[in-house]
């Protein structure tokens, strides 16, 4: 290996290098406006055509669920045996059922209930999971062991088994269903948040906050949760279709929403009994459940890609 005795020999001649310079006409094309994390995530989300399609679809379903029943003059529970079992017409857009109730009003009223149950249950599940997962991951020790053993015990049985048992105890209705879905649906969020907390505990900004004497709950609220908000949002987005499906299943087997109230799951259950004579009564709520779950899944995938800095291009 050739050794250099003089350090000046390591410095290349200026003749070997020439500044490239900047062409004034290219400045605007090269320059890029600085963006915050949320602005960049929104930009990447809008570039995902599938996610945008899912967003437009879910907005349309939301609007129809909340305003659709007001587009007709019939209430969702108004009976008129003189017009029972009618096919779709200009008077009754989705036809009528065996009691003469307008199916358009019943379908979209049922969608309102199903979507509200899904959103509220997912929010409460996420809140409980975030709190317990943060405590388990940050405190550690016996507290962590106790919470995780409870989570593992509850996860040893299928989710719908616990929900069904709770519904049989608390009874049917909207509030008992939300309670049952909440008490059994926080497990995955708790495990996810605990793992994130354990990975963030050794970060410099957390150690600095601990050294300065900040309380644990303040460190979790101000430093840890904001840094894992992307993961939390994506998980809650995926939890909403799960809660909607659970509501549909429970109403389908007869322990969820009961008539004269309505929901998509109850309409599917009633449509099953008339599938050979009036198949539209089964297909309408089934298709709407499928479209809602599909759109939320697409939005969840889009958010996951948009909020992950590793996927930035």
CA distance 177 to 251: 10
> What is the per-residue pLDDT for 27?
57
**Dihedral sign (CA 300, 302, 305, 306):** negative
pLDDT tens digits along 278-294: 888 889 999 999 999 89
pLDDT tens digits along 77-129: 888 888 888 888 888 889 888 888 999 999 999 999 888 988 999 899 999 99
Q: Residue 6's pLDDT band (boundaries 50, 70, 90)?
A: low
Longest dimension (CA), the chain: 108
CA-to-CA dists, residue 125 to 65, 194, 299, angstroms: 23, 15, 19
Between 17 and 262, residue with greater pLDDT: 262
CA distance 45 to 305: 8
Q: Which two tokens stand for residue 34?
A: 């600085």
> What is the per-residue pLDDT for 87?
87
- DSSP state, 25? G
Between 122 and 206, residue with greater pLDDT: 122
> What is the per-residue pLDDT for 108?
92
> What is the per-residue pLDDT for 56?
95
Residue 205: how many CB atoms within 10 A of its CB?
A: 12
CA distance 199 to 211: 18
- The number of residues making up the chain comes to 313
Q: Which domains does the chain have, with CATH numbers?
A: 39-68+97-311 (1.10.3720.10)
The DSSP code sequence of 125-137 is HHHHHHHHHHHHH
Q: Residue 61's pLDDT band (boundaries 50, 70, 90)?
A: very high
**Dihedral sign (CA 294, 298, 299, 304):** positive
CA-to-CA dists, residue 112 to 75, 116, 120, 197, angstroms: 14, 6, 12, 36
25-34, 61-70, 77-86: segment of lowest average pLDDT: 25-34
């Amino acid at each position: 290996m050739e050794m250099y005795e003089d350090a000046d020999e390591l410095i290349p001649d200026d003749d070997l290098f020439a500044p490239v310079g900047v062409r004034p006409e290219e400045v605007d094309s090269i320059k890029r406006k600085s963006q915050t994390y949320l602005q960049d995530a929104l930009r990447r989300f809008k570039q995902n055509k599938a996610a945008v399609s899912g967003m437009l679809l879910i907005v349309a379903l939301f609007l129809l669920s909340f305003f659709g029943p007001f587009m007709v003059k019939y209430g969702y529970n108004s009976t008129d045996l003189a017009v029972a079992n009618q096919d779709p017409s200009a008077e009754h857009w989705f036809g009528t059922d065996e009691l003469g109730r307008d199916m358009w009003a019943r379908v979209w009223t049922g969608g309102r209930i199903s979507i509200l149950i899904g959103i509220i249950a997912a929010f409460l599940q996420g809140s409980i999971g975030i709190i317990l997962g943060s405590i388990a991951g940050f405190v550690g020790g016996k507290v962590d062991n106790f919470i995780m053993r409870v989570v593992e015990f509850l996860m040893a049985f299928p989710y719908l088994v616990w929900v069904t048992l709770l519904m049989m105890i608390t009874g049917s209705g909207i509030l008992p269903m939300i309670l049952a879905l909440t008490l059994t649906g926080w497990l995955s969020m708790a495990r996810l948040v605990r793992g994130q907390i354990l990975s963030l505990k050794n970060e410099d900004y957390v150690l600095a906050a601990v050294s300065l004497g900040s309380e644990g709950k303040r460190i979790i609220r101000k430093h840890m949760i904001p840094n894992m908000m992307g993961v939390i949002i994506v998980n809650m987005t995926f939890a909403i279709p799960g809660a909607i499906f659970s509501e549909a299943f429970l109403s389908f087997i007869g322990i969820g929403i009961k008539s004269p109230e309505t929901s998509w799951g109850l309409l599917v259950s009633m449509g099953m009994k008339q599938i050979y004579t009036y198949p539209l009564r089964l297909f309408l709520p089934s298709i709407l459940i499928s479209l809602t779950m599909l759109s939320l899944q697409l939005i969840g995938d889009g958010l996951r890609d948009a909020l992950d800095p590793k996927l930035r291009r």
